Amino acid sequence: MATLGIDFGTSNTAAGIAPDGVPRLIALEADAQTLPTAVFFDAEAKEMLLGAAASEALLAGAEGRYMRGLKSLLGTSLMREKRLLLAERLDFIDIVARFLARVKDRAEAATGQQFTAALSGRPVRFHSANDRRDAQALEDLREAYARAGFDRVDFMNEPEAAALANRQALRPGDLGLVVDIGGGTSDFTLFRQGGTDEIDILASYGIRLGGTDFDRSLSIGRVMPQLGMGSEIRHSFGDGTHLAPNAIFNDLATWAKIPFLYGPETRRAAADLLKYAEHPKRLARLVKVLDEELGHDLAFAVEAGKIRANEAEGEAEPVIDVSMLKPRATLPLPRDWVRKRLDPLAQQIGMAAETTLQKAEIDPAAVDRLIFVGGSSLMQVVEAALRERFPRAELHRGAALTAIVEGLALCSSMDVRG
């Protein structure tokens, strides 16, 4: 029975095996080792696209329903809600299952093997503060693997997989801390390099905070006010004004919530806000975004702005490209502003790293190496928040997007799963 290692990420998914103890990643689309965790139900072609093809169809303006960040919905009541997609009634577990089934198909086509079992990554905590929801998230994911056609699925903490993949970056006896900052969660594993191939895992910990939260914060700070968030709305009866309610704007700034905004109630609420708005120009943009289903286009623009603002100083001032709202329009995104805005989130990540050390009752000064993986570990604010807490540790950058799947692939071949 062959086992496929799968890192089902909030933003990116990867799969791999390790036939001779060497991780071999499977090209899930074209030559790419990672596949954006996104689907597009194409209304015209009547098919589900995934990965880059899904995002291309969205950005090309094809008719259909796009979804990204599905992992964030695991454990919530939304997972079991059925919706009509391409003439089928599907819940979100079905959608995740279909995504995983396509990963399975592609892995089988690429290797000529059949995978009846999966070794899947999981964040240490899907939901930081809610045990019941956290347990439900794992059950939801387990069910999705079953519906995808896997007879068996085992789970491994994502940062523990990254520790295994990066163990050779440590000298024998060294203490390492994996810092895996992804799209949806931040995960940590403290471990000691044993000398041979073994590692000793001392503690793992995680919180529900990642790059999509950075996107949300930047969107709420920079983009949503331009759509009327926080602006005055006149009362429909009598004098006076109140502020536009935040809920629509918060959801519009949140990757996984965007598809839920395109129903008639939200559109009606937005039209009402426009009718009584003190700043009708701004609320007219909100109405346009909902009518033309531009929520994801905006989210992509914010994410791209975030990545540009994080790049080296000296280049032109970063901007968010909002040309979908108005031709050639941009919003400035000064680097200093981004740093200040994201620092509180980076501090939460730093504190979670400290909690990991407290769980093992080890002093942060004892850590020899920080091993950075996950796309959001590339953020300067994250690096700063970690360096100040572990001043003695050397920084080692693992493969940002593939360290976890490499560890899962290794472990799937070693058969040392617990």
User: Footprint of ligand ATP on this chain (CB under 6 A)?
Assistant: 9-12, 37, 71, 158, 182-185, 210-212, 303, 307, 310, 374-376, 378-379, 401
Shortest distance (Å) from residue 188 CB to Mg ion = 13
- Per the CB < 8 A criterion, the answer to whether 215 and 302 are in contact is yes
Q: Of 360 and 379, which CB lies nearer to ligand ATP in the complex structure?
A: 379
Residue 379 contact, options Mg ion, ligand ATP, none, Cβ 5-8 Å cut-off depending on partner type: ligand ATP
Shortest distance (Å) from residue 78 CB to ligand ATP = 17
Q: How many CA atoms lie within 13 A of 311 on its CB side?
A: 13
* Torsions phi, psi for 130 (to 5 deg): -140, 100
Alpha carbons 49 and 40: distance in angstroms, whole number = 5
Q: Of 244 and 381, which CB lies nearer to ligand ATP in the complex structure?
A: 381
Q: Of 27 and 307, which CB lies nearer to ligand ATP in the complex structure?
A: 307
* Torsions phi, psi for 256 (to 5 deg): -70, -20
DSSP structural state of residue 222: I
Q: Find all residues with CB under 8 Å of 220, minimum gap 6, and list them.
A: 229, 249, 250, 253
Residue whose token pair is 């994250």: 382
Binding site residues, Mg ion, CB under 5 A: 9, 182
Q: Which residue sits closest to Mg ion, CB atoms considered?
A: 182
Which DSSP helix (H) or strand (E) runs through 144? helix 131-147
Minimal CA–CA distance to 11: which of 379, 349, 400, 375? 375
Alpha carbons 321 and 301: distance in angstroms, whole number = 6
Shortest distance (Å) from residue 251 CB to ligand ATP = 18
Residue 36 contact, options ligand ATP, Mg ion, none, Cβ 5-8 Å cut-off depending on partner type: none
Q: Of 37 and 128, which CB lies nearer to ligand ATP in the complex structure?
A: 37
Shortest distance (Å) from residue 234 CB to ligand ATP = 38
- Per the CB < 8 A criterion, the answer to whether 179 and 372 are in contact is yes
CA 133, distance to chain mean position in Å, is: 18
Residue 321 contact, options ligand ATP, Mg ion, none, Cβ 5-8 Å cut-off depending on partner type: none
Shortest distance (Å) from residue 175 CB to ligand ATP = 23
- The per-residue DSSP string of 1-66 comes to -EEEEEEE-SSEEEEEE-TTSS-EE--SBTTBS-EESEEEEETTTTEEEETHHHHHHHHTT-SEEE
Residue 216 contact, options ligand ATP, Mg ion, none, Cβ 5-8 Å cut-off depending on partner type: none
CB atoms within 10 A of CB 392: 10
Shortest distance (Å) from residue 342 CB to ligand ATP = 11
Alpha carbons 337 and 353: distance in angstroms, whole number = 25
Residue 185 contact, options Mg ion, ligand ATP, none, Cβ 5-8 Å cut-off depending on partner type: ligand ATP
Q: Of 252 and 405, which CB lies nearer to Mg ion in the complex structure?
A: 405
Shortest distance (Å) from residue 6 CB to Mg ion = 11
Angle made by CA atoms 373, 12, 359, in degrees to the nearest 5: 40
Q: Of 120 and 136, which CB lies nearer to Mg ion in the complex structure?
A: 120
Alpha carbons 12 and 34: distance in angstroms, whole number = 6
Residue 140 contact, options Mg ion, ligand ATP, none, Cβ 5-8 Å cut-off depending on partner type: none
CA 187, distance to chain mean position in Å, is: 12
Measuring CA to CA, how many Å separate 130 from each of 127, 158, 267? Answer: 6, 19, 32
Residue 310 contact, options Mg ion, ligand ATP, none, Cβ 5-8 Å cut-off depending on partner type: ligand ATP
Q: Of 212 and 413, which CB lies nearer to ligand ATP in the complex structure?
A: 212
Q: Of 122 and 341, which CB lies nearer to Mg ion in the complex structure?
A: 122
Shortest distance (Å) from residue 26 CB to Mg ion = 17
Residue 11 contact, options Mg ion, ligand ATP, none, Cβ 5-8 Å cut-off depending on partner type: ligand ATP
Q: Of 159 and 259, which CB lies nearer to Mg ion in the complex structure?
A: 159
Shortest distance (Å) from residue 373 CB to ligand ATP = 7
Residue 378 contact, options ligand ATP, Mg ion, none, Cβ 5-8 Å cut-off depending on partner type: ligand ATP
Shortest distance (Å) from residue 219 CB to ligand ATP = 12
Residue 212 contact, options ligand ATP, Mg ion, none, Cβ 5-8 Å cut-off depending on partner type: ligand ATP
Q: Of 8 and 273, which CB lies nearer to ligand ATP in the complex structure?
A: 8
Alpha carbons 373 and 118: distance in angstroms, whole number = 22
